[in-house]
Amino acid sequence: MFTAKINFLRVILRVMQHTTQSQQDKVNTGDSLSNLAETLIGSEIIKLSGEIKEKIKQGNKIYNFTIGDFDPAIFSIPPVLENEIIEAYKHHFTNYPAAEGNADLRESIAAFLKEKEGLLYAPDEILVASGGRPLIYGFFRTVADKGDKIIYAVPSWNNNHYTHFVEGVHCEVQATAENHFMPSAKDIKPHLQNAVILALCSPQNPTGTTFQKETLEEICDMVLEENKQRTAGQKKLYVLFDQMYWQLTYGDIKHYDPVSLRAEMKAYTVYVDAISKCFAATGVRVGWAMGPAKIINKMKAILSHIGAWAPMAEQKAVAKFLLQKEAMDKYLQHFKSEVSFRLEKIYEGFMQLKKEGLPVDAIAPQAAIYLTIQVNAVGKMAENGTRLHEQKDVTDYLLNEAGLAVVPFYAFGAPKNSSWYRLSVGTCKKEEINSMLQALSNALKKLK
Assign 131 a pLDDT band (cuts: 50, 70, 90): very high
- Closest Cα to residue 362, out of 175, 208, 156? 208
Assign 157 a pLDDT band (cuts: 50, 70, 90): very high
| pLDDT, average across residues 7-16 | 41
Average pLDDT, the chain: 92
**Measured torsion, CA atoms of residues 304, 308, 313, 318, in degrees rounded to the nearest 10:** -100
Note the pLDDT tens digit of each residue in 244-257: 999 999 999 999 99
Q: What is the pLDDT of residue 14?
A: 43
- Sort strands 269-274 and 238-242 into parallel, antiparallel or unpaired: parallel
Assign 295 a pLDDT band (cuts: 50, 70, 90): very high
- Sort strands 287-290 and 269-274 into parallel, antiparallel or unpaired: antiparallel
Identity of residue 262: R
pLDDT at 25 over 70: no
Assign 4 a pLDDT band (cuts: 50, 70, 90): very low
149: alpha, beta or left, given left = phi > 0 and alpha = psi -120 to 50?
A: beta
Q: Residue 346: how many CA atoms within 13 Å on its side-chain side?
A: 32
**E-strand spans in 275-412?**
287-290, 360-362, 370-375, 404-405, 407-408
Q: What is the pLDDT of residue 421?
A: 97
pTM to 2 decimals?
0.90
Q: What is the pLDDT of residue 40?
A: 84
Which residues make beta-bridge pairs with 373? 362, 421
pLDDT at 8 over 70: no
Assign 48 a pLDDT band (cuts: 50, 70, 90): confident
Query: How many beta carbons lie within 10 A of that of residue 330, not counting itself?
Result: 14
Note the pLDDT tens digit of each residue in 302-331: 999 999 999 999 999 999 999 999 999 999
pLDDT at 342 over 50: yes
Note the pLDDT tens digit of each residue in 353-388: 999 999 999 999 999 999 999 999 999 999 998 999
Assign 158 a pLDDT band (cuts: 50, 70, 90): very high
Note the pLDDT tens digit of each residue in 112-123: 999 999 999 999
Q: What is the pLDDT of residue 52?
A: 87
| pLDDT, average across residues 46-59 | 84
Assign 45 a pLDDT band (cuts: 50, 70, 90): confident
Please report the domains of the chain, with CATH numbers, ordered by start residue.
44-70+330-445 (3.90.1150.10), 79-323 (3.40.640.10)
- Closest Cα to residue 273, out of 255, 302, 246? 246
Identity of residue 331: Y
Work out the end-to-end distance of the chain between its first and last CA atoms, rounded to an integer number of angstroms. 55
Q: What is the pLDDT of residue 143?
A: 98
Proportion of the chain above pLDDT 70, given as a percent: 93
Note the pLDDT tens digit of each residue in 188-231: 999 999 999 999 999 999 999 999 999 999 999 999 999 999 99
pLDDT at 16 over 70: no
Choose between 134 and 48: higher pLDDT: 134
Residue 247 to residue 254: CA distance in whole angstroms? 9
Q: What is the pLDDT of residue 6?
A: 43
| pLDDT, average across residues 410-437 | 95
Assign 11 a pLDDT band (cuts: 50, 70, 90): very low
Backbone angles phi, psi at 403, to 5 degrees: 70, 20
Backbone angles phi, psi at 439, to 5 degrees: -65, -40
